[in-house]
Structure 1
Amino acid sequence: MYTKKELDEQFPTETFCALPWMHLSTRPNGHMRVCCTANASGVAVNAESTNKTKSDAGILKRDDGKPANLATTGLLESWNNEYMKGVRRQMLAGEKPASCIKCFKEEEAGHRSKRQWETRKWIQDAGGIDEIIRGTQEDGTVDPRIRYIDLRLGSKCQLACVMCSPHDSSGWVKEHKQIHPHLVNPKLKQTMQWEKETGKLAWTGGSYNWHKKSPTFWDELYSQLPHLRQLYWAGGESLIMDEHYTLLEKIIEDGLAKDIELRYNSNGLEWREDLFDLWKEFRNVIFHFSIDDIEQRNHFIRYPSPWPEVVEQIKKLDNYPHGNLELTTAWTCIALNIYYLPEFIKWKVQEGFKLLNRWPSGAGLFSCHLAYWPPQLNVKVLPEWFKKDVRQKCEDELFPWLEKNWKDCTGVTERQVSYDTWRQSEYGIPRMQGLLNFMDADDWSTRLPETAEWCYTVADKRFIDFNETFPDYDWLEWYK
């Protein structure tokens, strides 16, 4: 096992990331990406961006400039296309690919980026950096040995989260058709347009049924299973997709499950009754449970998830009996919930979970990620005076409370963690400080009229009193 310092010393350059050598990520529409956060990089540096899909940052391109889409392009055909080779060359030269700006922006704010933690993980798992980059040719070509794939088989999902859209959730389709035509703010209207309605989806050859249309995908994926070490499931909602279970059964049947780690981002609201029996066959399972607040605020953000059912499902997972599950939160940091972070953390600690972010995961607290899109819900949109309130609430209320109750963090007492070790964990208070620093790094408050229109429009459509649900945000009415 390498230490953190030894892992960092193995990075060939300061901009290196292991993923382009071993990983491909899919979008629900079939587009292939460098990784799951790459296509947010076009948004990360531009407060005025209104169209994430137009920039196509991080999306693999064919030679004709169109996105490499699995409905029309082979999985392995894209592995060494000019786009992927170019990203590898840039990283080995110490340059920052445009598709990776999101990670570098997070690192500047003191937040541990996907580039950093993924590269450390895979150097550790591979037994050293040489095993990852060996055989890389001068032009960036590497043999196709896909160790890690992010698989998104369409947009089927039963939720319509406030920061989501029909791009990623079929649960949004009906309401989008009802809401979008009546949006007034032109920037908001453009931001929230749907690629299927603009014609772009058809132009790119994409489809939310790409996995059913592709003549080669499944054969090519099956050919890579002996190399596979992590299978990541996310968006729409994999646990309600038949293909998810079929692939797990295929891996088990082929005798490969003990070498493969399953990873999920999931709302966790429903699954097939034999799921745990399938999971126990795999090396291990990492389950990131999507939960962004408590009670009615979570219901609004992850609509229409009922809070009692959310808690019940988490507790089912928390009592998983087979010993190979790492359970974490997937708390999405947006403008609407960062003020209530203290309430969420206190709830999590006081619930007495056994597995949920058990030390060292999230320092026994929580796991989180930043939402860049849609921009009207990015934490940077908050006005300066409210950002100060958010920071003060964390520094004066949450952090002292944690200092007092640190032993109650999941697994800390059980694993005899010292105070100094807990306090210095980069996943605990330092990570929350990174969220605050990211919030303060840029001023996007010119977009607050979009925030107000979106939040109140969605709330009204769903017969929810926004000010009652988010009483500390009633000032948003000023921007309507």
Structure 2
Amino acid sequence: MANGQDDDQKIKKRIPFSKNNAFCIAPWTHTYISPQSERRMCCASREQHSFMQQYIDQAGEGKTASYQPLTLEEHWNSDHMRSIRRKMLSGEAPAECMVCNEQVLNIYTYKSYFNKVLFPHHIQKAYDLTDDTGRTSMRPVSYDYRLANTCNFKCRMCGEPLSSSWEQEKRQYSEWDPNRDIWMQPHINAEIKKFQREVVEQEFARAITSGTMEEIYWVGGEPLMWEQHWRYMQDLVDLGFSKNVHVRYNTNLSKIVHKGVHLFDDILPHFKSYNVCASIDAAGKVGEFVRTGLNWEKWLENFKSGLPYMKKRGADSLIMDVTLTLPGLFGMKELHDLAIELDVKMYVKIVFAFDPSIVLSPFAAPKKVLHSILDDLLREIEPKANSKTMVLVETLKEMKNRPTFEEAYPDTYQEGFLRGRDQQRRLARYRKDGEESRLTIEQIYERNPALSQWWNS
């Protein structure tokens, strides 16, 4: 026995990193918590949830438990985390890591980013400072702490766990189920906010003042809507630690000034480096449809305010972060043209879809129709693409090799499609699609008669 572990819970052989395709440095350096206090290795890991499902979980997977949140101390060297580390060090790919290992979302994975860009200097320490049970003396230096679901957008592919605007809409139209959405019950919701305020924020504040933090990932909700974001970033500046910290954002970029403090002018110049991923999933009116709450012209104005600093900080400092949806494909040519015009990079991922009811996924469409849309788009953008936008071309091509929902879910595809379409039609009524120059999904799909016929069938 060692640290309470028998031989079946010990690493038998450590595979060197150079030969270890399963290894990711995240479980030694990074810590994540959702707005509902769900802790995981990272935002892309598909773990058995302790309280509620996350956006990457399959519908019906696991059981919803009572609210019993863990502190970072309880989580960091827990049985689960030690098991993950044992598997990785012995060269076994954990099932929780399938999003990266199978390139479910994008062709450039989170694991690669952690290993090659953020923390290659910690890899040897991970091997040296982890015992055979998976317990490590290393402490997290990277934080993805989603302090609240506060968000002013209702992006069609999002939901109430990550958007207070979605939550408000669900409550307004009685679209939530107290038995399924336990976290929305008033007394549980109050417990979550108390834990986030009294435990999670205190953990984060200690990391800020310790001077050991190397990276923050600000993502929400909408992090630029949080007062805590502006306060903690200013704390790092005032303490003199900002020069050692890399900052990542995933933001809708609707707000870049808080109480007279400008994100690009007053905060980010003090940091070691930064990567502002400005979420935008199509240009113009199509983009405004996909991301309910988006003002395209205001987004463009805010994005351009960061361009002068990009010339100093490099191409990775300001990015168009794109999630590919089926309606969004019809605003992709214009978005690509803008990226070329502004000479900026694109990051591209495909909307999460582990269920055929996710009808905004490109793979919801019939294969022949989808491939015709992809081919038309590739003919438009591939001749113009450069090294900063070629990822869009590569992703669109790779999508043609993936099964559509009709192929992946032959027994449930039709029922899933009808259920998903009904949901989108309810959203259209709630959000008054078609009024005040707002597009409807039907108007977008009319641009491809075969797609329109499928949608209305």
Q: For the superposition of Structure 1 and Structure 2, which TM-score range results when normalised by the shorter chain?
A: 0.7 to 0.9
Q: Secondary structure at the match of 1:153?
A: coil
Q: Secondary structure at the match of 2:155?
A: coil
Paired residues of 2:46 and 2:57 also in contact (CA < 8 A): no
Q: Give 1:196 deviation, angstroms.
A: 2.7
Paired residues of 2:88 and 2:94 also in contact (CA < 8 A): yes
Question: Partner residue of 2:269?
Answer: 280
Question: Partner residue of 1:463?
Answer: 432
Unaligned ranges ≥5, structure 2: 1-15, 50-55, 435-439
Q: 1:398 aligns with which of 381, 386, 393?
A: 381
- Does residue 1:171 correspond to 2:165, yes or no? yes
Question: Partner residue of 2:37?
Answer: 30
The correspondence of residues 212-227 of structure 1 with structure 2, limited to 5 A, is: 212-214=197-199, 217-218=202-203, 221-222=206-207, 225-227=210-212
Q: 1:319 aligns with which of 287, 302, 308?
A: 308
AA matched with 1:437: N
Q: Give 1:297 deviation, angstroms.
A: 1.3
Question: Partner residue of 2:333?
Answer: 342
Paired residues of 1:11 and 1:129 also in contact (CA < 8 A): no
Question: Partner residue of 2:4?
Answer: none
AA matched with 1:372: F
Q: Give 1:97 deviation, angstroms.
A: 1.7
Question: Partner residue of 2:219?
Answer: 234
AA matched with 1:196: W
AA matched with 2:156: V
The correspondence of residues 79-478 of structure 1 with structure 2, limited to 5 A, is: 79-106=76-103, 111-124=107-120, 126=121, 129-179=123-173, 181=175, 194-197=181-184, 202=188, 207-208=192-193, 210-214=195-199, 217-218=202-203, 221-222=206-207, 225-271=210-256, 272=258, 273-274=260-261, 275=263, 276-320=265-309, 323-324=312-313, 326-338=317-329, 340-349=331-340, 352-354=341-343, 356-357=344-345, 366-373=346-353, 375=355, 376=358, 377-402=360-385, 406=386, 427=391, 429-438=393-402, 440=404, 443-444=408-409, 445-446=413-414, 447-465=416-434, 466=440, 467-471=442-446, 472=448, 473-478=451-456
Paired residues of 1:123 and 1:129 also in contact (CA < 8 A): yes
AA matched with 1:335: L
Q: Deviations over 1:451-476 (max 9, x none)?
A: 32122221222221321244235335
Q: Deviations over 1:408-447 (max 9, x none)?
A: x66xxxxxxxxxxx9xx7x463344234434659634432
Distance 1:319 1:216, change over 3 A: closer
TM-score (norm 1): 0.76
Q: Give 1:179 deviation, angstroms.
A: 4.3
Question: Partner residue of 1:78?
Answer: 75
**Bigger mean CA offset, 237-246 vs 455-464:** 455-464
Identity of aligned residues (%): 18
Q: Secondary structure at the match of 2:162?
A: coil
Q: Give 1:93 deviation, angstroms.
A: 2.2
Q: Deviations over 1:325-361 (max 9, x none)?
A: 7000111122332454334322322xx215x32xxxx
Distance 1:254 1:123 in 2: 23
Q: Give 1:79 deviation, angstroms.
A: 0.8
Distance 2:205 2:241 in 1: 16
Question: Partner residue of 2:59?
Answer: 50
Q: Secondary structure at the match of 1:154?
A: coil
Return structure 1 stretches of 4+ with deviation > 6 angstroms.
65-68
Q: Give 1:149 deviation, angstroms.
A: 1.0
Distance 1:318 1:102 in 2: 32
Q: Secondary structure at the match of 1:437?
A: coil
Distance 2:40 2:249 in 1: 18
Distance 1:240 1:220, change over 3 A: closer
Paired residues of 2:126 and 2:138 also in contact (CA < 8 A): no
Q: Secondary structure at the match of 1:172?
A: helix
Distance 1:34 1:215 in 2: 16
AA matched with 2:59: T
Question: Partner residue of 2:22?
Answer: 15
**Bigger mean CA offset, 234-243 vs 215-224:** 215-224
Paired residues of 2:151 and 2:220 also in contact (CA < 8 A): yes
Unaligned ranges ≥5, structure 1: 1-8, 57-64, 182-188, 358-365, 411-421
**Bigger mean CA offset, 12-21 vs 221-230:** 221-230
Distance 1:396 1:239 in 2: 37
Q: Deviations over 1:220-256 (max 9, x none)?
A: 7437843221111001111121111111122222221
* CA RMSD of superposed structures (Å): 3.6
Question: Partner residue of 1:363?
Answer: none
Paired residues of 2:146 and 2:219 also in contact (CA < 8 A): yes
Q: Secondary structure at the match of 1:214?
A: helix
Q: Deviations over 1:291-342 (max 9, x none)?
A: 0001111111111211111111111122338933700011112233245433
Distance 1:38 1:215 in 2: 20
Paired residues of 1:29 and 1:209 also in contact (CA < 8 A): no
Q: Secondary structure at the match of 1:171?
A: helix
Q: Give 1:178 deviation, angstroms.
A: 4.0
Q: Deviations over 1:139-189 (max 9, x none)?
A: 1111142121112111111111111121111111232124454xxxxxxx8
Q: Give 1:90 deviation, angstroms.
A: 1.3
Distance 1:298 1:40 in 2: 32
Q: Deviations over 1:173-227 (max 9, x none)?
A: 232124454xxxxxxx88x96343479x939x96245331328833774378432
Q: Give 1:51 deviation, angstroms.
A: 4.1
Distance 1:248 1:266, change over 3 A: same
Q: Secondary structure at the match of 1:292?
A: coil
Distance 1:40 1:332 in 2: 22
